[in-house]
Amino acid sequence: MEPEDFDETNEIESVTGKYIASIYTRMGGGAAGWCEKGVIIYPKELQDAETEELVHKWTVFDGRCRNNININWAEGDLLRITSDGTQLPNGVTINVSN
């Protein structure tokens, strides 16, 4: 089995400073290949953890690599996720503190 390749981008801290959200891309599978893009939200104290560990435990959205995903903290601990793909046509807001 080919090893997975992780890339973490757009790491942003919540307004309250308690959480970090970021977009990740994960690829693998050799010649045939596969790819996914998603969003992770994790407690700030875990910011030095490996991306692979964070993805397996803290993923809140899985998407397709061909879609652009955008994240921003609306207020407090509310994260807004939007995508130009069909998976989130109206976006979604997640209240992390609950």
Domain range for 53 is 5-95
- pLDDT 10s digits, 23-53: 998 888 777 788 888 999 999 999 888 888 8
The secondary structure of residue 50, as a DSSP letter, is: -
Domains of the chain: total: 1
Provide the 10 A C-beta neighbour count for residue 27.
Answer: 15
Which amino acid makes up residue 48? D
* Residue 13 Ramachandran class (φ > 0 left, ψ -120 to 50 alpha, else beta): beta
- pLDDT 10s digits, 1-23: 345 677 777 889 999 999 999 99
Residue 9: partners with Cβ closer than 8 Å, 6 or more residues away = 22, 23, 24, 25
Entry pTM: 0.82
